[in-house]
Amino acid sequence: MEGTSHCLIFLIFLLSCSTDPVLPVRLTVSPSRSQFFLYEPVILTCEDENRSDGWTVRRNTSREIRNRCGDGFGNLAGSTCSISYLYPSDTGLYWCESMSGSSSSSSSIQLSVSGGSVILQSPVLPVMEGDDVTLSCRAKNQTHNLPAAFYKDGSFIGDETTGNKILNSVKKSDEGLYKCNVKGHGESPSSRISVKEKPPTTSPPSSSSSSSEKLSNISDSTVTPGPGSSSVSLPVLLPSASLCVLVFLFLLVQLVVYLYSKPKVMKEEEERMTSLPETSGCSRGNRRKANQEQEML
């Protein structure tokens, strides 16, 4: 009987692990950059895998804390927050949060609105190690990019006549605060570039049950938040996935302990069963149950 219930818990657990336990919510920015000119529009969207509503955009600025979209800034429609005209005072950290309150939220991203006439166009989301990243220095009301100087963490890293600086095959060490300067036009605000490490290429597990594959896929696609704050994937998935693995191991140990240290009362019965072929714990338990029922009749 005990074996059967163990098996049942085990199976229920496997099923619950294979259905995604917690969906991550992401904040996306359109146009996809972190710096804006005065009066430009921006659309911020909270996305989870269900495309469900129930998310709201919040922000921290130098003036307010946890300000909610539709309540002092922007217009909220569903889980989309639109700001028609950006001002320098809109500079701040933006993130998604469930309407109900604190239950879950996305990582935050930094948006900067320049009061001046130069912005740096850089990726707003973390970039993958090995990717090429283009930094584009734009001056207001210019159809073509002008020659620009680029800076990383305050240090000059090069002039580009095209106004575009390409970072080839970025490494973790390329992370930092970038800005640019166009002679006669001014300097851009600074924006952080975050580089996320490439997940190690693992060979598929030899005992490939569908749920264990799914688990490893989940942890591969989970973004590890960098030291900057522009990482956008929700980190709650990782704890829940590792909890899954812990419970899995615990139940496995329980099962093994049960199978190898049976009470003496069952020894007789075990001897009668030796003719049966060795099978998995689950079918053994079921067979034993069937045996017991036969005896009862």
Ligand X SMILES: *[C@@H]1O[C@H](CO)[C@@H](O)[C@H](O)[C@H]1NC(C)=O
| Beta carbon nearer to ligand X, 102 or 201 | 102
CB-CB contact of 124 with 33 (8 Å):
yes
Distance, in Å, from the CA atom of 129 to the CA atom of 174, rounded to the nearest integer, reads 9
| Beta carbon nearer to ligand X, 216 or 229 | 229
65 touches ligand X (CB under 6 A): yes
Structural tokens at position 278: 């060795």
| Beta carbon nearer to ligand X, 59 or 179 | 59
Distance, in Å, from the CA atom of 7 to the CA atom of 251, rounded to the nearest integer, reads 9
Expressed in angstroms, the distance from the first to the final Cα of the chain is 17
- Candidates 58-66, 71-79, 169-177, 257-265: pick the segment binding ligand X (CB under 6 A): 58-66
Q: How far is the CB of 26 from ligand X (least distance, A)?
A: 14
- Candidates 60-68, 74-82, 191-199, 272-280: pick the segment binding ligand X (CB under 6 A): 60-68
Q: How many chain residues bind ligand X (CB under 6 A)?
A: 6
Contact positions with ligand X (CB under 6 A) in 132-191: none
Chain position whose Cβ is nearest to ligand X:
60
Query: Of 38, 93, 128, 251, which lies in the binding site for ligand X, with binding defined by CB under 6 A?
Result: 93
| Beta carbon nearer to ligand X, 99 or 276 | 99
CB-CB contact of 33 with 125 (8 Å):
no
Give the type of residue at 29: V
Cβ-proximal residues to 8 (8 Å cutoff; 6+ apart), any chain: none
246 touches ligand X (CB under 6 A): no
Query: Of 108, 117, 231, 233, which lies in the binding site for ligand X, with binding defined by CB under 6 A?
Result: 108
- Candidates 59-67, 129-137, 185-193, 239-247: pick the segment binding ligand X (CB under 6 A): 59-67
Cα 229 to Cα 37, 92, 192, 239, 254, distances in angstroms = 21, 11, 8, 19, 41
The C-alpha R_g of the chain, in whole angstroms, comes to: 28
| Beta carbon nearer to ligand X, 65 or 253 | 65
| Beta carbon nearer to ligand X, 226 or 285 | 226
Name residue 187's beta-bridge partners.
181
Query: Of 95, 150, 151, 178, which lies in the binding site for ligand X, with binding defined by CB under 6 A?
Result: 95
60 touches ligand X (CB under 6 A): yes
CB-CB contact of 254 with 6 (8 Å):
yes
Query: Which segments of 122-236 does DSSP mark as H helices, in order?
Result: 210-221
Q: How far is the CB of 74 from ligand X (least distance, A)?
A: 17
Nearest residue to 195 via CA among 128, 131, 135, 133: 128
Question: Which residues in this chain contact ligand X in the complex, by CB under 6 A?
Answer: 60, 65-66, 93, 95, 108
